[in-house]
Amino acid sequence: MNVKQLWFFIAAILVITACNNDKKKICLGADLSYINEIESCGGIYRSNGEPVDPFQLFAEKGANLVRVRLWHTPEINRFSGFEDVRKTIKRAKENKMEVLLDFHYSDIWADPHNQIIPRAWKDIRDLTVLGDSVFQYTLKTLLALNNDGLLPEFVQVGNETNIEILQPADSMVVDSINWPRNIFLLNKGISAVKEASKVTGKNIGIMIHIAQPENAFWWFTKAIKNGLVGFDWIGLSYYPKWSVYPFQDIPVAIDSIRKTFSKRVMIVETAYPFTLENADPAGNILGEDALIPAYPATHQGQLNYLTDLTKNVIAGGGEGVIYWEPAWISSDCRTPWGHGSHWDNATFFDGKNKYEALPAFGFFDVKNY
């Protein structure tokens, strides 16, 4: 048995079917933020040729964690706001899946190039007042969910916060960070989650999310030096297309991040195409440049990528993998960039076959690990 095989053997022993804050359990999850919107536009999901409830399908296949994004006051449409998120969490919990709630602290996508302050807060100039707004909004959201029996098990304080959060839309800075301001605001979000745990008597895992493993090293070094405290998890996006880390080096990256910062680690975003063909007029984001030679853009290639990535994460001491938007199928919905889905070739449903469920659902089968 070589070293890699030994790592995988040890990892397999650690895998259990549920996902929560127990360190001996592995999270096998999916970001299902789009489903309510897709269904409102006529999208239908199928398994064995029959229409299915997608939340029920993911749960039946073994998914134990649902990630859902929250925008403050959505500017695109009514989705990803509080009521839509409440519905998503309810559907997840009805199917016995835990929830990772992702506060974007924006009215639209927050990512390594955009961290736009919500319109409701855009005229706040006093940092103390802005920090209190973050605290109160986060706390009130969590307490409202708790009142409905929908408190999430995990909370992300920000989404892909590689750059400074809560910036004015017309003066976005991506190449420098005002660290005292940035950490003050992130700590306010963390404090609110801790307060929600205290009030409800329920433990909530707190996560800070950075895109691509290579960025975690410099970002968390500077953040902790500037006073970032109180979080439990480091969440990572890993897309081979945008990362300098070779696929085979993921165990080393995860292990190093985990030990350097003494935090638990999970990949909360990844994806891989099962085809290079397009199912609708909207251009797909993941094309040939997203491929790794050992994993072709096929049904089996997509599944193999996911199962091998998960093994790599576990081998490095990581505790889970969440697939980003496996249900973003084509429909009559529109985005700011076009009509349809920009992800239809990277979902878990085949757009050329009436959105039939793909072998990628095997990712959630713990027997693979």
Q: Collapsing DSSP states into helix, strand and coil, what is residue 355?
A: coil
How many Cα atoms occupy the beta-carbon half-sphere of 218 within 13 Å?
A: 8
- Mean pLDDT (the chain, rounded): 94
Taking 70 as the threshold, does the pLDDT of residue 15 lie above it? no
DSSP state of 158: S
Closest to 160 in 3D by CA, of 231, 228, 110:
110
Q: Burial of 244 by CB count in 10 Å (0-12 exposed, 13-18 middle, 19+ buried)?
A: exposed
**Residue found under tokens 């405290």:** 229
Measure the CA–CA gap between 31 and 325, rounded to whole angstroms. 5
Residue 14: per-residue pLDDT: 42
- pLDDT reported for residue 234: 98
Residue 360 to residue 363: CA distance in whole angstroms: 6
pLDDT for 271-299, tens place per residue? Answer: 999 999 999 999 999 999 999 999 999 99
The pLDDT of 122-150, averaged and rounded, is: 98
List pLDDT tens digits, range 72-125: 999 889 999 999 999 999 999 999 999 999 999 999 999 999 999 999 999 999
- Count Cβ atoms below 10 Å from residue 123 Cβ, excluding itself: 8
Q: How many CA atoms does the CB half-sphere of 196 hold within 13 Å?
A: 29
- Structure token digits, residue 318: 């990581």
Residue 338 has pLDDT above 80, yes or no: yes
d(Cα 124, Cα 104) in Å, to the nearest integer? 18
Determine the average pLDDT of the residues in 120-147: 98
Strand segments, DSSP code E, in the chain are 27-31, 46-47, 50-51, 65-70, 98-103, 154-157, 205-211, 233-237, 264-269, 320-324, 334-335, 338-339, 349-350, 356-357
The length of the chain is 369
Instruction: Provide the pLDDT for residue 8.
Output: 40
Mean pLDDT of the 264-276 span: 98
Helix axes 250-261, 213-225, angle to 10 degrees: 10
Q: Are 139 and 192 in contact (CB under 8 A)?
A: yes
Average pLDDT over residues 144-173: 97
Residue 160 has pLDDT above 70, yes or no: yes
Give the pLDDT confidence score for residue 219 in this predicted structure.
98
Its pTM stands at 0.94
Measured distance CA(253)–CA(246) in Å, rounded = 10
So what's the pLDDT on residue 75?
A: 85
Compute how many other C-beta atoms are within 10 angstroms of the C-beta atom of residue 179.
15
Q: How many angstroms separate the CA atoms of 272 and 340, rounded?
A: 19
Q: What is the CA radius of gyration of the chain?
A: 19
Which active-site residues does the annotation give?
160, 269
- Give the separation between CA 143 and CA 195, rounded to whole angstroms: 10
Q: Largest alpha-carbon pair distance within the chain?
A: 61
DSSP state of 122: T
Distance CA 194, CA 51 (A): 41
Tokens of 139: 């706390």
Whether 9 has a pLDDT exceeding 70, the answer reads no
* Banded model confidence at residue 7, pLDDT cuts 50, 70, 90: very low
In the chain the domains, ranked by start, together with CATH numbers, are 1-62+267-369 (no CATH), 64-237 (3.20.20.80)
Confidence category of residue 20, pLDDT binned at 50, 70, 90: low
CA distance linking residue 43 with residue 329, whole number of Å = 7
